[in-house]
Amino acid sequence: MSGSLANAAEETLAWAAERFAPRISLATGFGAEGCVLVEMIGRRRLPIDVFTLDTGLLFPETYLLWRELESRYGVSIRAVRPAETVFEQESSQGPRLWERNPDLCCERRKLAPLRGELAKLDAWVTGIRRDQTADRATAAAVELDARFGLTKVNPLVEWSKDDVFRYARERGVPTSPLYEQGFASIGCVPCTSRVAADESERAGRWRGFTKTECGLHSRRPETNRKEPERVATR
């Protein structure tokens, strides 16, 4: 891949670490982008904390990748969990909330825990790319995250999907085996499905809804109306 892209990403990370440490964290969901950033942070021993939102609904492969990255790069990846377990949420909200109200499920299992973490920080690092969704198309490498009230650092914002996987191959960075099984964007088990060759990268998230973001990176409210003509596939 382009050395200039990789160098720019590392320079952005190093600048952010110098500017914001110790009040800076990488939030990763263990997509390939997050794995690349963990490699950069670990290899350069950057003082950037790393955490993941462990919803209790992640793929088994994700938990295995989590441990592999920690072991390989000497990075501790903290688990940030929601106030309720999945069982407790079913008791308070009814079963399979993600099928009835995915926005509320994401709010309870992702957004609320994220707010608690970001409130402790001055900056957070993400693996978003401009070409992923319309919400991300105008993202900058460093920007004000008005939604959460801190600086948002996006070192891979100019990268393409091919750039990410080329870097991972060249550097031997572990990525999820789910990609080889037809998944393109990996989240919680109930809300992630395989995508066809002619579908967009995020098409496999929240099948049957207009929703394409859990809300972590949204720049505008989403209505997430149900689309009855679309059939959920797993």
Distance CA 22, CA 43 (A): 18
- pLDDT > 90? residue 210: no
222 occurs within a structural domain: no
Q: Would you place residue 206 in the very low, low, confident or very high pLDDT band (cuts 50, 70, 90)?
A: confident
77 occurs within a structural domain: yes
194 occurs within a structural domain: no
List beta partners, residue 80. 53
Complete DSSP assignment for 108-120? IIIIHHHHHHHTT
19 occurs within a structural domain: yes
70 occurs within a structural domain: yes
Among the listed residues 204, 209, 202, 201, the one whose alpha carbon sits nearest the alpha carbon of residue 230: 209
- pLDDT > 70? residue 162: yes
**Span 129-139, mean pLDDT?**
86
> What pTM value is reported for the model?
0.85
Residue 115: give the domain boundaries. 3-177
Distance CA 45, CA 40 (A): 8
The answer to whether the beta carbons of residues 74 and 50 sit under 8 Å apart is no
Q: Would you place residue 232 in the very low, low, confident or very high pLDDT band (cuts 50, 70, 90)?
A: very low
Give the phi and the psi of residue 170 in degrees, each rounded to 5: -65, -35
pLDDT tens digits, one per residue of 28-78: 999 999 999 999 999 999 999 999 999 999 999 999 999 999 999 999 999
Q: Would you place residue 136 in the very low, low, confident or very high pLDDT band (cuts 50, 70, 90)?
A: confident
233 occurs within a structural domain: no
208 occurs within a structural domain: no
Among 105, 106, 188, 214, the active-site one is 214
To the nearest 10 degrees (0 to 180), the angle between helices 32-44 and 60-73 is 20
Is the pLDDT higher at 185 or at 173? 173
Q: Would residue 105 show up in a list of annotated catalytic residues for this protein? A: no
Mean of the per-residue pLDDT values of the chain: 89
Structural domains counted in the chain: 1
192 occurs within a structural domain: no
Token readout for 58 is 């992640």
What CATH number did the domain enclosing 22 receive? Answer: 3.40.50.620
Among the listed residues 76, 77, 72, the one whose alpha carbon sits nearest the alpha carbon of residue 168: 72
